[in-house]
């Protein structure tokens, strides 16, 4: 599906969609508590549908199709291992090429058999309690997956980080969700102590908060000249991407994005709307997203007539205040689609987005909301 967008200014009020990151974790905790219907998401994204369907392994399903959702895969693999399930994990798109080490090796050291090191693979055996050591700078989802799983083991465990932790806010979100479902986890130097033989207990209610990652696109639209009010974003949220508010308020032109990689596409567009140079530092982990997001962000900006270059893991954007317009390849990346749509606001000519259906991964009704706010986006 290709989308053609005529440049226009947006105006109005939008309700934030539910936080995908929190919803994944809440759905898993609710399923483990025996109350999966506690978490109800209206118009769920493809990633959340993947988690909901993959959780059928708790009811005897032998296959977990994670689609393109890295979160689904990395959170459910340790869980299946802890429960002693014999499950085949599958996926599509770039997911089979996204790394699963050192998580799989760590699981095999504690009693799990894995048929092969990449998707599709079969998982069997039962995870044993003990000391788990893992780097904290590859994927916080490995750590969240282990935190969700280890309380279910018979004995106590320790989870120790061998490096500093990146994307720590996502781990904090996992721990907060577990606490709300009655799970006790203690802190220790460079890690956590996880008592075994615990049971997830459903609270009387659980409301998934608004999503700062996707709300950032509308906030950026306002910074670029539109007037969009975004409702439902908690200023007390644990989501790392709430930092978009600070970046916009300060007018930052030099930002370390190590903890906020999902904001990079829209931050690059924002940089084009300024008549100055912006540096986005420590973008390295973007190479392992739905696309090689360093390459796809550079391609997006250049396709629209902007000036961007790389310097190691940094991106440098020389803003001119506007863009020309043109044709953008989404590379199957939902955040490239949404960033390109917001970029159309500052373009002199229309923007054509190839494979715009990728937006369904996180925000299926994005273009409906876009047009409701006065945008001019149509399938061609």
DSSP codes of every residue in 176-222: HHHHHTT---EEETTEEEE-SS------S---PPB-HHHHHHHHHHH
* DSSP 8-state class, residue 18: B
Longest dimension (CA), the chain: 63
159 - beta bridge partners? 132, 192
Give burial (CB, 10 Å; 0-12/13-18/19+) of 222. Answer: middle
- Which 8-state DSSP code applies to residue 239? -
Q: Is 219 exposed, middle or buried (0-12, 13-18, 19+ CB in 10 A)?
A: buried
Structure token digits, residue 356: 């715009």
Q: Phi, psi (5° rounding) for residue 9?
A: -95, 140
In DSSP terms, 255 is beta-bridged to 280
Based on the number of CB atoms within 10 Å of its own CB, is 61 exposed (0-12), middle (13-18) or buried (19 or more)?
middle
Bridge-based pairing state of the strands 376-379 and 3-6? antiparallel
Distance CA 54, CA 349 (A): 43
Q: At what angle do helices 46-54 and 70-82 cross, to 10 degrees?
A: 10
Q: Are 315 and 283 in contact (CB under 8 A)?
A: yes
Q: Which of 350, 366, 9, 22 is nearest to 174 (CA)?
A: 22
Q: Is 65 a catalytic residue?
A: no
Q: What are phi and psi of 90, to 5 degrees?
A: -130, 165
Sole residue written with tokens 């370390």: 256
List 211, 241, 262, 333, catalytic entry: 262
Give the whole-angstrom CA distance, residue 210 versus residue 108. Answer: 37
Enumerate the active-site residues: 262
């Amino acid at each position: 599906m290709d989308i053609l967008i005529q440049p226009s200014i947006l105006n109005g009020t939008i309700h934030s969609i539910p936080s995908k990151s929190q919803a994944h974790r809440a759905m898993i905790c609710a399923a483990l508590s025996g109350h999966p219907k506690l978490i109800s998401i209206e118009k769920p994204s493809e990633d959340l549908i993947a988690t909901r369907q993959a959780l059928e392994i708790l009811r005897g399903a032998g296959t977990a199709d994670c689609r393109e959702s890295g979160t689904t895969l990395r959170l459910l693999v340790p869980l299946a291992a802890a429960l002693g399930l014999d499950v085949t994990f599958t996926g599509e798109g770039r997911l089979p090429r996204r790394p699963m080490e050192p998580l799989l090796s760590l699981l095999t050291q504690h009693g799990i058999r894995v048929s092969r090191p990449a998707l599709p693979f079969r998982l069997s055996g039962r995870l044993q309690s003990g000391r788990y050591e893992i780097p904290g700078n590859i994927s916080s989802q490995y750590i969240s997956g282990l935190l969700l799983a280890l309380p279910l083991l018979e004995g106590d465990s320790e989870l120790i980080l061998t490096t500093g932790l990146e994307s720590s806010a996502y781990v904090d979100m996992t721990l907060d969700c577990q606490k709300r479902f009655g799970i006790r986890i203690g802190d220790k130097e460079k890690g956590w102590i996880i008592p075994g033989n615990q049971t997830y207990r459903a609270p009387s209610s659980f409301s998934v908060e608004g999503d700062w990652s996707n709300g950032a696109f509308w906030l950026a639209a306002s910074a670029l000249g539109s007037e969009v009010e975004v409702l439902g974003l908690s200023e007390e949220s644990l989501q790392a991407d709430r930092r978009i508010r600070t970046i916009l308020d300060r007018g930052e032109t030099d930002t370390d994005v190590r903890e906020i990689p999902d904001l990079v596409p829209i931050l690059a567009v924002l940089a084009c709307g300024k008549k100055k140079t912006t540096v986005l530092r420590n973008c390295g982990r973007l190479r392992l997203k739905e696309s090689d997001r360093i390459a796809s962000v550079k391609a997006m900006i250049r396709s629209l007539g902007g000036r961007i270059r790389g310097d190691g893991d940094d991106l440098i954007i020389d803003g001119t205040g506007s863009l020309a317009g043109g044709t953008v390849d989404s590379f199957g990346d939902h955040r490239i689609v949404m960033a390109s749509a917001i970029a159309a606001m500052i373009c002199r000519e229309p923007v054509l987005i190839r494979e715009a259906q990728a937006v369904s991964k996180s925000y299926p009704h994005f273009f409906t909301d876009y047009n409701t706010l006065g945008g001019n986006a149509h399938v061609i």
